[in-house]
Amino acid sequence: GAGVSQSPSNKVTEKGKDVELRCDPISGHTALYWYRQSLGQGLEFLIYFQGNSAPDKSGLPSDRFSAERTGGSVSTLTIQRTQQEDSAVYLCASSSSPGAQGREQYFGPGTRLTVT
């Protein structure tokens, strides 16, 4: 079946502009996660959605970052007033179970964001 998809695959933007990154999870997966992978920082958790519950935003690095998930499926990560330190690969993952703690997460190919 189809895996997690993300768009765009690459995004180059000028400092100060807003960007939107999209994630389409695996059909039927109730949990959706955003991570960021940058040089020297490894993989960092950003935000987590589980069903209709309030998202866990504890990993968002600043209030310039926000995310929403519409209809329990597609998610959009928005970065406002981008800064050069936002340059990274943004990875989305989804997981199948309401008791998601133990379930493996399946990752998308990522969006490589470059802020110039």
Partner 1 sequence: AQKVTQAQTEISVVEKEDVTLDCVYETRDTTYYLFWYKQPPSGELVFLIRRNSFDEQNEISGRYSWNFQKSTSSFNFTITASQVVDSAVYFCALRSNSGNTPLVFGKGTRLSVIA
d(CA 97, CA 36): 23
With CB under 8 A, what is the number of residues at the site for partner 1?
A: 24
Residue type, 31: A
Binding mask 14-53 for partner 1 (x = CB under 8 A): -------------------x-x------xx-x--x-x--x
Phi, psi angle pair for 62, to nearest 5°:
-160, 170
Give 58 or 84: the residue with its C-beta nearer to partner 1.
58
Binding mask 70-99 for partner 1 (x = CB under 8 A): -------------------x-x-x------
Residue 60 as a binder of partner 1 (CB under 8 A): the answer is no
Contact 56, 46 (CB under 8 A): no
Contact 72, 61 (CB under 8 A): no
